[in-house]
Amino acid sequence: MEFWDILVYAAWSASAIMLVWMVVDAFMISSQYDEEYLMSSREGGEDDVVHGTHLEEGNV
């Protein structure tokens, strides 16, 4: 049946387009932004409120 052959080609091409798009985008980002900035995220995100405040700091 014709339909399934076309579907196979469509699946291959759609995958290729998405993969190429991601690779190209990743390269563009690397050329536009400084590596230091891209790597600057800190663990736990920005608001340190969620994970624990010191309750009894001196109590060690």
Residues near another protein (CB under 8 A): 1, 3-4, 8-9, 11-12, 14-15, 18-19, 21-23, 25-26, 29, 31-48, 50-57, 59-60
- Least separation in angstroms between residue 52's CB and another protein is 5
Phi (first) and psi of residue 20, to 5 degrees: -60, -40
CB distance 14 to 23 below 8 Å: no
Compute the distance between CA of residue 16 and CA of residue 27 in angstroms, rounded to an integer.
17
Q: Quote the tokens at residue 11.
A: 């699946």
- Least separation in angstroms between residue 25's CB and another protein is 8
- Least separation in angstroms between residue 59's CB and another protein is 6
